[in-house]
């Protein structure tokens, strides 16, 4: 009898341990897949772009990815990493030291098309023993098409330890071994749950991340109806960069955590809140029964964010722009709804309202991707569908000192399109040079006409990086200035701060060539990305344009006033003229002039106008200014002008 019981116990233990051993292997392999997925969201997403996959990795992105992988290797979380293009099946990135690396088998690329990570064959490199290989498909631009597959080699220590423990339990025998085996499985499960939480949670704020939103949004949007819709809020902090730059990154992190607490508290327990990246947050409200109550949520969030906060021992005050979109009315897919909320958010930011719904967005429908191809835009240029609008800059003495040139596309299907809706599609193509040449010729011709009518106004043209570095731009500018007999520096070229900071060794010589050709130079969007005063000493410019995010906030933000005032002083010390953008109201314009700005630009001064309308407007404004000047001179000379019955 005893022998039978022992036999049964042994058989039970052996059967149980063998079964648990397979479960441990399965769970551990699932954990390996999740580790690879977490690596993609934390490391690869941050450093790899579609351009890197198709045209080779940018040195900065390669350096960032290499640094992250080295850190993971030192921590023992990764053995090797290589990334392969799905289109060409060529190597995009590999760790140093991977000599003789061989491309994955065709079967790997075929399985990767499904878009789900999977386990591959174990490697046998004697330098690191037997390891796990996980293949993780990577969609670079979120269009649902797999662009690359990452081959992630993970240490298999956890698998071997689990299997070794199972074998020891098998020979140790007894019920205790069975209990310990179960405990081992539970531990693996706990690790799996912990990794799953880490994959969908933002470590800084404790909110969900973009991956969490991707997971929960499809079901919530599928359940949404016209009677019980879902709502998506997209929240972007205003003046966050100023806090980050002034008080340091630790203060910026503390501010983001405080804002996350506000969003979580004010959005309610049924909502899904996530930090999408940087200072951008999203809140998904499922099945809203009361639209009025849902519309109150973004107002509560913004009101709470705008209250002064104590960060790093200092009191700071920030603002937020919030866009709101409804499902299914504004989109049934997560990407569509996010795009609608994004447009509403920009409407809220640029209008100064703070909160806006997608239904309130009074903008032209953006073209479909097929409408903004190089071929379509080239045809539009040949068919004279493009035209130039002009937006004036008002000087501190209320005169009009310059006008910025803004391209518009009178599209046959989408009506009038702003430059932001088509220029990015061709900014890195050869058509950009052709488009820039057309804009420069049109602007120079218009300026010559104004000068002939006694209208002395500088004309400013924005230059993309490709145009700036082109060899022919300086020669074209020189010919235009000479042929049209334009005054020196009256044709002004604007170069964004980002171009100067990213490639100063290329940008500065190119700008010097333009200056030698007779063009004026302007540093555009100062403060949008960096706001470093040191750039003012290096940039060979005569004018600085402060980004609209700061220019438009000086009335209500003490921090914005402090930054603008400091930038103005630094620019004036270097003999530079300072223009502030983003002026929406007369009060904002007066505040910026009081802070020392030499000029202001924005809808509060004048909206962009076609060339003919702008010419009439400029003639009227200049005539009125000259009349005032003549009257002032007459009074100073002691001969006040006679007052007619009409004047009276």
53 within 8 A of 90, measured Cβ to Cβ: no
pLDDT at 470 over 60: yes
Q: Which of 52-56, 87-91, 279-283, 290-294 has the highest mean pLDDT?
A: 279-283
More confident residue, 444 or 8: 444
Residue of 632 and 111 predicted with greater confidence: 111
Task: Decide: 292 and 249 in contact? Cβ < 8 Å.
Answer: no
- pLDDT exceeds 80 at position 16: no
**Strand pairing category for 577-580 and 599-600:** parallel
Q: For residue 177, is pLDDT > 90?
A: no
- The DSSP 8-state label assigned to residue 15 in this structure reads H
Q: Which one, of 534, 536, 506, lies nearest residue 521 by Cα?
A: 536
pLDDT at 364: 43
Percent of the chain with pLDDT over 90: 29
CA distance 648 to 644: 6
520-526 and 491-496 beta bridge pairing: parallel
Closest alpha carbon to 551 in 598, 603, 601, 586: 601
| H/E element, 388 | strand 386-395
Q: Kindly state the average pLDDT of the residues 224-251.
A: 86
DSSP letters, 456-509, are --EEEEE--HHHHH-SSHHHHHHHHHHHHTPPTT-EEEEEEHHHHHH-HHHHHH
Tokens for 39, please give them: 């690596």
Per-residue pLDDT, averaged over 1-11, amounts to 51
User: Is the pLDDT assigned to residue 438 strictly greater than 70?
Assistant: yes
What local confidence, expressed as pLDDT, does residue 389 receive? 95
Beta strands 543-546 and 577-580, pairing class: parallel
CA distances to 243, 436, 482, 541, 634 from 408, in Å? 35, 13, 27, 27, 44
- Looking at residue 371, its pLDDT comes to 42
Q: Which range among 239-243, 505-509, 621-625 has the greatest average pLDDT? A: 505-509
Question: pLDDT tens digits for 299-338?
Answer: 999 999 988 888 888 888 888 999 999 999 888 888 889 8
């Amino acid at each position: 009898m005893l022998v039978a019981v022992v036999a049964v116990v042994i058989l039970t233990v052996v059967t149980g341990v063998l079964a648990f051993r397979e479960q441990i292997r399965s769970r551990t392999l699932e954990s390996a897949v999740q580790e690879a997925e977490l690596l993609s969201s934390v490391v690869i997403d941050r450093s790899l772009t579609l351009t890197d996959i198709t045209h080779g990795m940018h040195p900065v992105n390669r350096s960032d990815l290499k640094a992250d992988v080295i850190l993971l290797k030192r921590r023992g979380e990764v053995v090797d990493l290589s990334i392969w293009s799905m289109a060409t099946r060529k190597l995009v990135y590999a760790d140093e030291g991977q000599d003789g690396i061989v491309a994955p088998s065709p079967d790997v690329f075929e399985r990767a098309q499904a878009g789900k990570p999977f386990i591959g064959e174990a490697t046998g490199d004697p330098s690191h023993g037997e390891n796990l290989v996980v293949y993780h498909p990577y969609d670079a631009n979120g269009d649902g098409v797999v662009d690359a597959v990452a081959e992630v080699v993970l240490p298999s220590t956890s698998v071997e330890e689990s299997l070794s423990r199972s074998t020891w339990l098998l020979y140790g025998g007894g019920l205790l071994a069975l209990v310990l085996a179960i405990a081992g499985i539970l531990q693996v499960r706990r690790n799996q749950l912990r990794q799953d939480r880490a994959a969908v949670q933002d470590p800084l704020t404790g909110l969900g991340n973009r991956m969490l939103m991707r997971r929960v949004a499809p079901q919530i949007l599928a359940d949404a109806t016209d009677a019980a819709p879902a709502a998506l809020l997209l929240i972007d902090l205003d003046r966050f960069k100023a806090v980050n730059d002034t008080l340091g990154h630790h203060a910026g992190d503390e501010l983001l955590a405080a804002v996350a607490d506000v969003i979580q508290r004010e959005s309610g327990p049924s909502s899904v809140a996530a930090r999408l990246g940087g200072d951008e947050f999203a809140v998904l409200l499922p099945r809203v029964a009361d639209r009025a109550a849902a519309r109150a949520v973004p107002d509560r969030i913004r009101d709470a964010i705008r209250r002064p906060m104590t960060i790093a021992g200092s009191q700071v005050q920030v603002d937020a722009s919030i866009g709101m979109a409804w499902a299914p009315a504004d989109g049934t897919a997560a990407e569509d709804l996010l795009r609608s909320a994004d447009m509403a958010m920009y409407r809220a930011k640029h209008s100064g309202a703070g909160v806006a719904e997608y239904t309130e967005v009074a903008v032209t429908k953006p073209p479909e991707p097929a409408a903004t191809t190089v071929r379509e835009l080239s045809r539009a240029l040949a068919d004279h569908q493009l035209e130039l609008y002009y937006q004036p800059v008002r000087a501190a003495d209320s005169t009009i000192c310059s006008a910025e040139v803004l391209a518009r596309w009178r599209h046959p299907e989408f009506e009038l399109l702003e430059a932001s809706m088509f220029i990015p599609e061709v900014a890195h193509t050869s058509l950009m040079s052709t488009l820039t040449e057309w804009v420069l010729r049109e602007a120079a011709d218009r300026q010559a006409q104004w000068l002939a009518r006694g209208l002395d106004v500088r004309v400013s043209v924005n230059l993309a990086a490709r145009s700036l570095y082109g060899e022919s731009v300086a020669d074209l500018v020189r010919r235009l200035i000479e042929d049209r007999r334009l005054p020196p520096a009256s044709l002004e070229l604007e170069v964004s701060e980002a171009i100067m900071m990213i490639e100063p060794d290329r940008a500065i010589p190119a700008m010097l060539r333009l200056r030698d050709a007779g063009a004026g130079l302007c540093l555009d969007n100062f403060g949008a990305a960096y706001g470093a005063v040191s750039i003012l000493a290096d940039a060979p410019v005569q004018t600085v344009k402060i980004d609209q995010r700061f220019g438009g906030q000086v009335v209500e933000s003490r921090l914005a006033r402090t930054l603008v005032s400091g930038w103005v002083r630094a620019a004036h010390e270097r003999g530079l003229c300072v223009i502030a953008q983003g002026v929406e109201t007369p009060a904002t314009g007066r505040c910026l002039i009081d802070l020392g700005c030499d000029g202001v630009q924005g809808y509060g001064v004048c909206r962009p106008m076609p060339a003919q309308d702008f010419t009439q407007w400029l003639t009227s404004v200049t005539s009125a200014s000259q009349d005032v000047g003549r009257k002032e001179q007459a009074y100073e000379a002691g001969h006040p002008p006679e007052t007619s019955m009409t004047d009276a």
